[in-house]
Structure 1
Amino acid sequence: MELVSVAAVAENGVIGRDGDLPWESIPADKRQYRRRVADAPVVLGRRTFESMREDLPGSHQIVLSRTERAFDVDTAFHASSVDEAVAIAESLGADTVYVLGGAAIYELFQPHVDRMALSRIPGAYDGDVRYPEWEESEWRLALSEQWDGFTLEEWVRRIR
C-alpha cells in the first residue's frame, strides 16, 4: 500500500493560518486535489476532519486523534496511531492512502510516506502552520507541472 502526502505549500513552507488557507482559493488546485483523493481513504487530524465535514474528501476518512471519538459519518474511522491508521486503510483494501494534514499529521507520517503531491503556491505567506521539512536528497522529483496559479510537484521517496 502506498502512502501519499498531499498539501498546498507556499514558498516559505506555510500551509495554513488560523485554520484556513492564507491565500485566495485556487479552483484548479481544489479540483485536482479532489479528483486525486476521491476514490481512496484519506488520513487527517480531528480539526482538519471537522473543518471539512460539509464536503468530506476521499472514500473513507481515517481520523487520527489521541482521544477516542465516535463520528456520525459512516465513512469515518478513529485511529490513535500511524500504525492503526495504516491497518484501517489496509482493512479497507486500499492500494493508496492520502495523508491530508494538519501539520502534526504530516509530521507523524513524513517518515512513512512513499510519495508527496505538493501544490507549490507562489509567494511567501504569514501563517501558523507549516509543512514539515524533509531531506530533499531522500526524494526524487518525478513531476513538475505548471497549472493556473500553482505548480504541481510529485516527489517519490528514493529506495531506503
Structure 2
Amino acid sequence: MVELVSVAAVAENGVIGDDGELPWPSIPEDKRQYRDRIANHPVVLGRATFESMLDDLPGSAQIVLSRSVDAVDADTANVAGDVAEAVAIAESLGADTAYVIGGGAIYELFQPHVDRMALSRVRGEYEGDTTYPAWDDADWELIESTEYDRFTLEEWVRVGAE
C-alpha cells in the first residue's frame, strides 16, 4: 500500500495560494526542502497545478488528477480520474510513498486518505483564494517541528496510521 503524504506551505490564516501563485515572497529554504523531499517519488496534483509547473516538473512522476483531460503532454505524467486510480498508478510505479502537492481541491479530496502531512507553516497572514483543508486534531499527531527563518516545518502523522 502506498503511503500518501500531503505537502503544503500554509500561512497562519490557512491560505496556500492566490490566483495560482504563492501569496508570499519566495522562501528559497522552503522550496529547497520541498523539492528534496519529493524529488524521487511520484506526486499527485491537479491539472492546473501541473500546467503551472510544466517548465520544472516535480517528483519522479506526476499523477495528474483531472475530470476534463485524459492525457497530458509529458512523458513522466499519468492522468487519474479519482483518488483510487491515483493510488493504483502510484502502486504500479512501484512507489512506497506518493506526495500530494495541490492545489486546493486536490488537498481537499485527498485529506481523508493521507497518512502524513508535511506542512511549512509560513509566518504571517496573507490574502488568497485557496486554503488548506481543515482537519480534526484528534485524528492527527504532530511528531516533529523544525524552526526555520520564515517558516516552521511540521510533520504530522494520522493517529492509528502505520
> TM-score with structure 2 length normalisation?
0.97
Number of positions where the alignment pairs a residue of Structure 1 with one of Structure 2: 160
Indicate the residue corresponding to 2:41 in structure 1: 40
Structure 2 partner of 1:14: 15
Gaps of 5+ in 1: none
After superposing on structure 2, the runs of 4+ consecutive aligned residues of structure 1 that deviate more than 2 Å are none
Q: Partner letter of residue 136 of structure 2?
A: E
AA aligned to 1:56 is: L
* Residues in 2 aligned to 1:70 and 1:2: alpha-carbon distance in whole angstroms: 25
2:142 matched to which residue of 1? 141
> Residues 100-156 of structure 1, C-alpha deviation per residue, up to 9 Å, x if partnerless?
000000000000000000000011111000000001111000100001211000000
Kindly provide the amino acid, as one letter, of the partner of residue 15 in structure 1. Answer: I
Amino acid in the other structure paired with 2:101 = L
Which residue of the partner structure matches residue 122 of structure 1? 123
> Counterpart of 1:29 in structure 2: which amino acid?
D
1:77 is aligned to 78
For 2:11, the aligned partner's letter is: A
TM-score under structure 1 length normalisation: 0.98
Separation in 2, partners of 1:144, 1:107: 23
Structure 2 gap ranges (5+): none
Q: In the aligned structure 2, how far is the partner of 1:28 from the partner of 1:136?
A: 28
Q: CA RMSD in A?
A: 0.8
Identity %: 71
